[in-house]
Structures are given as C-alpha cells and as structure tokens.
Copies of this chain bind each other. A is one copy, B any other.
Amino acid sequence: MEAPEGFKFSAVECGIKYENRFDLGLIYCEFPGVAWGVFTKNSVKAAPVLLGKKIIKSEVHRAIVVNSGNANACTGQEGLEDAKRIINDLAEHLKVSEKEVLPASTGVIGERLPVNKILPKLKDLVEGLSPLRIEDFAKAIMTTDTKPKISYREVNGIKVLGIAKGAGMIAPNMATMLAFILTDGVFQKETIKKLLPKFTEESFNRITIDGDTSTNDTVYLVSSNRKEVKDYQELKQAILDVMKELAYKIVEDGEGVTKVIRIVIKGAKTKKHAKELAHAVANSPLVKTAFYGADPNWGRLFSAMGKTGIEFAFDKVEVYLNGVCWVNNLKTCASEEELKKLMENKDQELIIKLKEGRQSYEVLTGDLTEKYIEINAMYRS
C-alpha cells in the first residue's frame, strides 16, 4: 500500500474528547486536486456538512481536515463560525485558499467544538504531513471504531486509497460514517460528480447497523490528477471495490457486531419492493438477534418482510442460508443442527427468492448483541 501520488497525511492529539490519541487528521494534496462529496440526507445537518456542501463546488481542492470526538452538529451559527476558523487558519498554514479545504467531523452532537484546543495544533498538524502516515490519519477519525479502516487497489500503476470510519448507526443513508477515497488517476470534476453518488448508492448506502442515520455522514472522492488513465473501466471498478470493501469493514466493525450478514432479495416484482424487503429484514432486531443466537428461526424473516405490507406469495418463497436450502414452500429443508452450525460462521449470506418478478437488491447488516447496548447506553456518541 502506498499513498496515491501527491497525497500526504497527518494527525495530532488535541484532547477534543479523547485523551492520548489522535483526534484531528489532515489529508493534503500537493497538487490542485479535483473532488466531489456526498453528504447525509438527515435534515439535521452538522456545520461541517453545511460548509462542505458549499466548498465542494470550488474548482480545485487541496485538503480535508477531520476531527473526531465532536460532531459540531446542532451548534447553530456558532458552530459554523468554529468550523470556518479552523479551515481559515489551516489554509494559511498550508498556504492554500480556504475554498480548497474540506471539513468533516464526527462525535457527540450538540456540544461546541473546542476550537481553542484545535487551533494551536494546526501548525504541528501541517508539519507532520507525510505520505507514510495513512494509518495515523485513519486512527484520528475513529470514534467507537475498534480499528482503522483502510482499503487499497492499484491498477496499471494508478493507486486508489480509501480510508473510513463507521461503527454505529449506518442506515438508510451511510450514517455516522466518513469515507475519503483518493486516487492519482486523472479525472474531470464532472466525471467524479456523477461517479460518486452512484458508487455510494452501491456501497455505503447498502449497509445498515441500527437503522439510524447521522447528522455528519460525508464521503469525499479526490484525485490529485497526476497519472494518465489507460482504462477508465478498470479504474472505476477499483474505486467501487475500495468503497465496497470499506462498507464491509464498517459493518464488520459495527457496534457489537459479531457476524456480517449479506441479505439478497431476488425475484421481486419491482426494485422498490426488493429494496424495501431487504431493508426490512436487515433492520429487524428479531432477525439480527436470531443470527446472533444462531437460531434458524425463519418465521422472523417472513414476519419482517410482511411488516412492509408488500403483498407476495409467501408460501412460494425459497430461502438459502450460505448456499444451503433453508426454507421452501413453508417447510424447513435442512436439519436444525446443520442450520445452527451454518449460522455460527462470521460471514452469512441469506438469499430470499420471491419468484414474483426479476428485480433484486442486496444489503449488508450485522447481528445485534449485548455489546451494542453496552456501547450506546454508556458512551456519549
């Protein structure tokens, strides 16, 4: 793994909320980069989201600054001013325009960002920049994540690097997650602008932990525009792969998650039905706890699908668990023992065939465990 050409990384400890760990990170692009962003659909948007949506419209971008421990959300006009001060000071240190610095924050909502702790550290942050400090940056953006999330691909000498944080509420629209996708392959801004929402829909919007969506979700894609691209098809696939891999890592490290469950609805009448049914199963606490307990109780799948109100011939449905027929014509078609054993795997694949039409939809979710409760009852996120 190597940083795509032109990118440098840094991280410092500000003590925003956590002590003795990085909580402010910086990505810097030595060359004028082109970028686009996708933001939360939550109607309560954090200050960095409101600012980011404006700044992303600039022609070129040179930096992304991210803090953890405080979301700078529900902080009103003061919160906007706080975010601006950090951007302005940082732009000065970097000797770039403040219109080229993109912000992101994650952490507790409703508390002022302690700018007095952050501003004095910006000089160190800039001086610490290095192409080798990818992992330090990845650590600086973590909240309840238990490990940094990095994904990497190289195609024809062009590099794609993705760094993300996730953990809690991750649905229906990539909640409390930040992801930064960097490449050195040449892109037009217009191309990135089309690409990113489409790929986000295929990756980060296909995962769910607890049905909650955050105020701060942000995905930035930045190219340093250093390397000619021979095969855009391959490069785009690499970018999508990186995003999908990060999405998987987010679920895998979801709060309290012990199993990653891929839920695939096939043969639905419409795409809308397929999506709604997949999310109903993926978000059902009863389905999630059944996977946790390795209890092959398929009634919960049917009940979860039925609660959407979507009519389907449920007596015709076929369900496959990790490739093994689980339910057919309302009958269990494998032994309880075999199914229980299958449900102990870390990776679970659930294919539900409706036989109503030709539409399908896929979503990733995690199981629901006591650990999720512990984290969220005790930790102020």
Contacts and interface: CB of A to CB of B under 8 A. Distances in A.
A102 to B, nearest CB: 22
A163 to B, nearest CB: 23
A315 B43 CA distance: 12
Contact of A175 (B289, B297, B307): B307
A305 B42 CA distance: 8
Interface in A153-205: 168-169, 172, 175
A212 B373 contact: no
Contacts of A311: 43
Given A168-B286, A289-B373, A302 B211 contact: no
A41 interface: yes
Nearest to A286: B212
Contacts of A376: 285-286, 289-290, 293
Which of A41, A285, A295, A378 has the most CB atoms of chain B within a 10 A radius of its CB? A285
Contact of A285 (B71, B109, B210): B210
* Interface size range on A against B: 35 or more
A340 B311 CA distance: 45
Interface in A105-132: 108-111
Nearest to A298: B110
Given A211-B285, A285-B372, A376-B286, A306 B42 contact: yes
Interface string A286-310: 1001101101011110111111111
Contacts of A289: 372-373, 376-377
Given A308-B43, A377-B295, A380-B297, A109 B303 contact: yes
A369 B370 CA distance: 8
A210 to B, nearest CB: 4
Contacts of A44: 302-303, 305-306, 314
Contacts of A359: none
A213 B303 contact: yes
A172 B169 CA distance: 20
A299 B307 CA distance: 29
B293 A378 contact: yes
A215 B306 contact: yes
A114 to B, nearest CB: 16
A185 B290 CA distance: 45
A283 interface: yes
A96 interface: no
A168 B211 CA distance: 18
A347 interface: no
A215 B303 contact: yes
A10 to B, nearest CB: 28
Contacts of A303: 42, 44, 73, 109, 169, 212-215
11 contacts: A41-B309, A43-B305, A43-B310, A76-B315, A109-B300, A110-B327, A168-B286, A211-B211, A211-B285, A213-B307, A295-B380
Given A41-B307, A73-B302, A74-B302, 5 more contacts: A76-B330, A109-B300, A169-B286, A211-B211, A293-B378
Interface of A: 41-45, 71, 73-76, 108-111, 168-169, 172, 175, 210-215, 283-286, 289-290, 292-293, 295, 297-300, 302-312, 314-315, 327, 329-330, 332, 368-370, 372-374, 376-378, 380-381
